[in-house]
Amino acid sequence: MNRLLALAVIGLTQSLVAGDEEEGRSVLLLYKKMTPMSGFSVGQPFNVTLSIFNRGQGDAYSLVINDDNWKSDKFRVVAGANNFTLDYLNHGESHVHEFTVVPIKKAWHRVRPARMAFIDGVEGENTVMHMSNNLPDIRIAAEKDLLEESLLSFGRVITLNTVQTKKGWMYASSGVVLFLLVQLFRIAKQVLKQRRHLRALDDLTKKGS
């Protein structure tokens, strides 16, 4: 009976110690995001944001984050860096890192999670590996029609930036057609009125003579 009690006490203290250790750990989350999330095309930059949160009770050290997903055969990293390091990330803190990528080739692209390595606690010895969330594959379209682009930007200038898209132009031109129809109708009405006038005048002069 005593032995059983002793075992139970040992078990309890062990789990308490383990619990204490759990409490002192850093718990890191790595979140990868792209802005925009769709409509990718050659030459159009987009941003990649990597956010790290330390949701644990302990601090993390020597963080190395790699987002080696933008190889030079398909992309250029034009601002910021896809790899970066942090000396530490204290518990309860977060860090946001952003870089800009330009696609250089029409392609389907598998977006892979970013990877992070860190050391848990100032006395930590093991490197902990962590991956970010997954994102769907993206389709990179061919370069937008340059003529269409320049026509649209010309249109933007002459309409003082009120008409910005092809759709916008379709609405605008149906507006113009409507306006012309109304004008035509008014002119026709004027002509008819004038004709009636002339006829009346004619009748008068006939009667007069």
Ligand X SMILES: *[C@@H]1O[C@H](CO)[C@@H](O)[C@H](O)[C@H]1NC(C)=O
Residues written for the chain: 209
> Out of 29, 41, 47, 107, which residue is the one contacting ligand X (CB under 6 A)?
47
Kindly state the smallest distance separating residue 150's Cβ from ligand X, in Å. 20
Q: Residue 16 and residue 143: Cα distance in Å, rounded?
A: 61
Q: Considering beta carbons, is residue 33 or 91 the nearer one to ligand X?
A: 33
User: Quick one: which segment of 17-25, 43-51, 161-169, 179-187 binds ligand X (CB under 6 A)?
Assistant: 43-51
Minimum distance from CB of 74 to ligand X (Å)? 14
Instruction: Please give the residues from 132 up to 191 whose contact with ligand X meets the rule CB under 6 A.
Output: none
Using CB under 6 A as the binding criterion, the count of chain residues that bind ligand X stands at 9
Stretch that binds ligand X, among 40-48, 87-95, 136-144, 185-193 (CB under 6 A): 40-48
Q: Contacts with ligand X in 52-81 (CB under 6 A)?
A: 66, 68
Per CB under 6 A, does 82 bind ligand X? yes
Q: Say how far apart CA 39 and CA 35 lie, in whole Å.
A: 10
Question: For residues 128 and 63, what is the distance between their CA atoms, to the nearest angstrom?
Answer: 9
49 in contact with ligand X (CB under 6 A):
no
Q: Does 41 bind ligand X (CB under 6 A)?
A: no
Strands 60-66 and 83-89: antiparallel
DSSP string, 139-193: EEEPPPPHHHHHHHHHHHHHTTTS--SHHHHHHHHHHHHHHHHHHHHHHHHHHHH
Q: Does 90 bind ligand X (CB under 6 A)?
A: no
Nearer to ligand X, 101 or 119 (CB): 101
Q: Which residues contact 127 (CB under 8 A, 6 or more apart)?
A: 117, 118, 119
Span near ligand X by CB under 6 A; candidates 9-17, 45-53, 132-140, 142-150: 45-53
Q: Which is nearer to ligand X, 46 or 118 (CB)?
A: 46
Tokens of 32: 């990868």
| Cα four-point dihedral sign 154, 160, 164, 169 | negative
Of 13, 14, 15, 35, the one binding ligand X by CB under 6 A: 35
Angle of helix 166-208 relative to helix 146-158, nearest 10 degrees?
50
- Regarding 203 and contact with ligand X (CB under 6 A), the answer is no
Binding interface with ligand X (CB under 6 A): 35, 45-47, 66, 68, 82-83, 100
